[in-house]
């Protein structure tokens, strides 16, 4: 029997864009109608028609959609999700409730607590002002010990040498300069690769006037003697630098990447959208990659104010709780081994100046005024439709005509109808696109 990652697989448009072999990942494949409508490429159509499994088109219940919408607002990903994305998450939640249950599904996202380990912080290396330590202190100390041992070997060889002191000192100093230059240029790779050859040169103390062929023969003879010692040192240095299957998960975890496992689940969602993945993981639902693996870890996001540099874990905030400005940006955060909070901040991305170039307009009055919200506790108008628009048409009236009736109640004269509040249109923020204080030119009369 073929191994599949999920019994019920909910797919996103990315599955058709990447031409994923869905029959190898899920037994029953389902999606929402909006995902099929997003497929417009000819290649994606061909892949959709070539699937061996049938795709079930399912509708989403309003209760599931409302729950997912409220949850996405709590995590702070609601602004990054479209209506299709919300329906996709709601379908996954709906199937999980139907086939598994909803006891393990979270009602609100988990907020990580950052606790600093004072013992680990005090044990860290303290650098005095004016000094600079390298990034990897262990490699730096290893190189320093090798250089000290090499200098002591040179001193012993020079003291026991029976040749002329001047020629011997000149050769050893040249070899030392040659070694330091190569180490500075190529680093540990050159040191480990040429360690045996440099040792043999120092032990033989070959002057510069000798032929290169004789030097190569003596080098080969000494390499066979120092093979065991060089291999042991190479293994110790390579363990810290090379990527192996044993330290692959540690490297991924230190880099902040998501970890995936080849396990089987009942319900899973295949998507590459990070906002969808974050909401699903926060809810406790299963996320499957394009390779058919289940994601177990994702990054956590918080808000960081770029005005006062304070952070908050409340993803519903629009204004900074510390300084009160509308300067919150979402950043990724993780906790290192010492318990310190580390944030990933993209300083190359410019902060948008939309809505900040021109002076604010004069506040307008009235029942349906649209003014910019400057503080968190500013009063907002209700923007309610008129009483005439809220009245329902009585379909059982004697004068009512099915289809189109001249006696049907239609509000087109009120201010709310002209602004579009009856239809639920979004509020147009006119101060975000152009200068609201620019005088308008009136047409010439006559």
Per-residue pLDDT tens over the stretch 219-251: 444 444 444 444 555 544 445 557 776 666 666
Q: What is the domain count for the chain?
A: 3
Q: Is 30 annotated as a binding residue?
A: no
The CATH number linked to 93 is 3.40.50.1010
How many CA atoms lie less than 13 Å away from 420 in the CB half-sphere? 6
For the ranges 78-92, 330-344, 402-416, the lowest mean pLDDT is seen at 402-416
Residue 130 inside a domain? The answer is: no
Q: Are residues 59 and 87 in the same domain?
A: yes
The 10s digit of each residue's pLDDT in 398-427 is: 666 666 656 556 666 676 666 666 565 666
Residue 223 inside a domain? The answer is: yes
Q: What Rg, from alpha-carbon coordinates, does the chain have?
A: 35
- Cα-flanking dihedrals φ and ψ of residue 63, to 5°? -65, -40
Q: Are residues 142 and 233 in the same domain?
A: yes
Residue 252 inside a domain? The answer is: no
Q: Is 320 annotated as a binding residue?
A: yes
Token pair of 341, please? 């909070």
Residue of 425, 415, 432 whose CA lies nearest to 368: 415
Domain that holds residue 171: 137-241
Examine the pLDDT at 1 and tell me if it is beyond 50: no
Token pair of 223, please? 């390499």
pLDDT of residue 262: 58
For residue 306, name the pLDDT band (cuts at 50, 70, 90): very high
Number of neighbours of residue 317 by Cβ within 10 angstroms: 15
Q: Are residues 153 and 87 in the same domain?
A: no
Give whichever of 50-54, 171-175, 287-291 has the largest mean pLDDT: 287-291
> pLDDT exceeding 70 applies to what percent of the chain?
54
Examine the pLDDT at 312 and tell me if it is beyond 70: yes
* Cβ proximity of 327 and 333 under 8 Å: no
pLDDT of residue 420: 66
Q: Are residues 158 and 224 in the same domain?
A: yes
Residue 362 inside a domain? The answer is: no
**28 vs 148, higher pLDDT:** 28
Token pair of 382, please? 């209700």
Alpha-carbon dihedral angle through residues 409, 411, 413, 414, given to the nearest 10 degrees: 130
For the ranges 2-11, 50-59, 184-193, 376-385, the lowest mean pLDDT is seen at 184-193
pLDDT of residue 191: 41
**276 vs 127, higher pLDDT:** 276
Q: How far is CA 100 from CA 212, 260, 265, in A?
A: 76, 21, 10
For residue 166, name the pLDDT band (cuts at 50, 70, 90): very low
3-state SS of the chain is CCCCCEEEEEECHHHHHCCCCHHHCEEEEEECHHHHHCCCCHHHHHHHHCCCCCEEECCCCHHHHHHHHHHHHHHCCHHHCCHHHHHHHHHHHHHHHHHCCCCCCCCCCCCCCCCCCHHHHHCCCCCCCCCCCCCCHHHHHHHHHHHHHHHHHHHHHHHHCCCCHHHHHHHHHHHHHHHHHHHHHHCHHHHHHCHHHHHHHHHHCCCCCCCHHHHHHHHHHHHHHCHHHHHHHHHHHHHHHCCCCCCHHHHHHHCCCCCEECCCEEEEEECCCHHHHHHHHHHCCCEECCCCCEECCCCEEEEEECCCCCEECCCCCCCCCCCCCCCEEEEEEEECCCCCEEEECCCCCCCCCCCCCCCCCCCCCCCCCCCCCCCCCCCCCCCCCCHHHHCCCCCCCCCCCCCCCCCCCCCCCCHHHHHCCCCCCCCCCHHHCCCCCCCCCCCCCC
Q: Are residues 144 and 229 in the same domain?
A: yes
Q: Are residues 232 and 173 in the same domain?
A: yes
For residue 310, name the pLDDT band (cuts at 50, 70, 90): very high
pLDDT of residue 424: 57
Q: Are residues 86 and 35 in the same domain?
A: yes
The 10s digit of each residue's pLDDT in 262-278 is: 567 888 888 888 888 88
Residue 219 inside a domain? The answer is: yes
Token pair of 143, please? 């190189």
**192 vs 135, higher pLDDT:** 135
Q: Are residues 237 and 284 in the same domain?
A: no
Residue 174 inside a domain? The answer is: yes
198-211 residues labelled b (16+ CB within 10 A) or e (exposed): bbbbbeebbeeeee
pLDDT of residue 305: 93
Q: Are residues 225 and 265 in the same domain?
A: no
Residue 208 inside a domain? The answer is: yes
Q: Are residues 176 and 232 in the same domain?
A: yes
Residue 187 inside a domain? The answer is: yes
* Cβ proximity of 5 and 264 under 8 Å: yes
Q: Are residues 101 and 179 in the same domain?
A: no
Number of neighbours of residue 258 by Cβ within 10 angstroms: 17
For residue 49, name the pLDDT band (cuts at 50, 70, 90): confident
Q: Are residues 181 and 235 in the same domain?
A: yes
Rounded to two decimals, the pTM is: 0.49
Q: Is 257 annotated as a binding residue?
A: no
């Amino acid at each position: 029997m073929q191994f599949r990652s999920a019994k019920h697989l909910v797919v996103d448009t990315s599955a058709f864009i990447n031409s994923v072999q869905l029959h190898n990942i899920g037994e029953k494949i389902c999606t929402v109608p909006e995902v099929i409508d997003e497929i417009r490429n000819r290649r994606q159509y061909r892949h959709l028609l070539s699937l061996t499994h049938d795709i079930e088109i399912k509708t989403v219940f309003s209760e599931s959609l409302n729950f997912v919408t409220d949850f996405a607002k709590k995590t702070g990903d609601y602004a990054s999700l479209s209506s299709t994305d919300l329906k996709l998450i709601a379908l996954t939640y709906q199937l999980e409730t139907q086939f598994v249950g909803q006891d393990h599904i979270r009602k609100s996202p988990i907020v990580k607590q950052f606790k600093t380990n004072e013992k680990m912080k005090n044990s860290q290396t303290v650098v005095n002002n004016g000094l600079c330590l390298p990034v990897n202190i262990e490699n730096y100390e290893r190189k320093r010990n090798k250089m000290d041992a090499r200098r002591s070997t040179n001193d012993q060889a020079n003291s026991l040498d029976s040749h002329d002191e001047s020629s011997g000192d000149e050769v050893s100093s040249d070899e030392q300069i040659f070694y330091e230059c190569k180490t500075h240029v190529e680093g540990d790779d050159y040191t480990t690769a040429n360690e045996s050859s440099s040792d043999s040169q120092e032990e033989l103390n070959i002057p510069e006037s000798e032929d290169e062929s004789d030097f190569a023969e003596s080098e080969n003879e000494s390499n066979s003697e120092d093979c065991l010692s060089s291999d042991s040192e190479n293994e110790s240095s390579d363990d810290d630098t090379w990527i192996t299957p044993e330290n692959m998960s540690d490297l991924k975890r230190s880099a902040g990447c998501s970890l995936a496992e080849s396990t089987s689940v009942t319900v899973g969602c295949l998507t590459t959208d990070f906002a969808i993945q974050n909401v699903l993981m926060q809810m406790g639902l299963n996320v499957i990659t394009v390779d058919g693996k289940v994601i177990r870890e994702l990054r956590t996001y918080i808000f960081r104010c770029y005005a006062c540099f304070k952070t908050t874990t409340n993803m519903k905030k629009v204004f900074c709780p510390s300084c009160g400005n509308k300067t919150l940006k979402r950043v990724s955060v993780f906790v290192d081994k010492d318990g310190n909070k580390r944030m990933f901040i993209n300083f190359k991305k410019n902060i948008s100046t939309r809505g900040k170039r021109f002076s604010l307009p004069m506040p307008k009055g009235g029942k349906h005024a649209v003014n910019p919200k400057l503080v968190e506790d500013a009063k907002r108008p209700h923007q309610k439709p008129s009483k005439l628009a809220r009245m329902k048409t009585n379909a059982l009236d004697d004068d009512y005509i099915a289809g189109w009736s001249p006696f049907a109640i239609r509000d087109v004269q009120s201010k709310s109808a002209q602004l579009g509040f009856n239809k639920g249109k979004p509020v147009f923020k006119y101060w975000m696109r152009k200068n609201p204080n620019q005088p308008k030119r009136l047409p010439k009369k006559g």
